[in-house]
Amino acid sequence: MVRAEPEKGTTVTGTRSINKGKTWERHVVSYLQCHGLPDARRLKAGEFDDNGDVSWAGSPWLLDAKDRARVSLMSWWDEVVVEAALAELSPMLVIKRPKHGSVGSGLVVVQLSDAGPLFTRNGEQLAVVSSIEG
């Protein structure tokens, strides 16, 4: 069996991590396509000034997909918030849960102030206040 050499400056572990991330991104795209977003697609690294990992037409989100053994939520969040602000989109993380094979069991992280469309009652969207004055 012939093994491909890692890119110059990339360790074998780094290559595995990159491939693992790309696989998770493809799984997230497939999941979204099967659940009402047929035009969801994986963005290649550097495409569109790094506007996330996954996108679809009219998306208000800058979606970064993460599949790592160690969760670094706050550093990932800080990174996606900066990217989203530059792109004038809302930040979203989709994180693979270790030891959970189903894509649907992944975790989605968004700011509460951006989550309005997620809150519905009897099919109607609820009003969400973006800030509380007190």
Domain ranges of the chain: 12-125
Q: Which two tokens stand for residue 67?
A: 């599949």
Confidence check: pLDDT of 50 > 70: no
pTM: 0.76
- pLDDT, tens digit, 9 for 90 and up, residues 30-47: 999 999 999 999 987 765
Up-side HSE of residue 7: CA atoms within 13 Å toward CB? 6
Q: How many CA atoms lie within 13 A of 103 on its CB side?
A: 14
**Which residue from 85, 78, 75, 83 is spatially nearest to 54, judged by alpha carbons?**
83
- In CATH, the number for domain 12-125 is 3.40.1350
Mean pLDDT of 10-30: 80
pLDDT at 1: 45
106-110 contacts at long range (C-beta below 8 A, 24 or more positions apart)? 106/28, 109/73, 109/77, 110/61
Q: What angle do CA 90, 44, 1 make, to 5 degrees?
A: 140
* pLDDT higher than threshold 60 for residue 76: yes
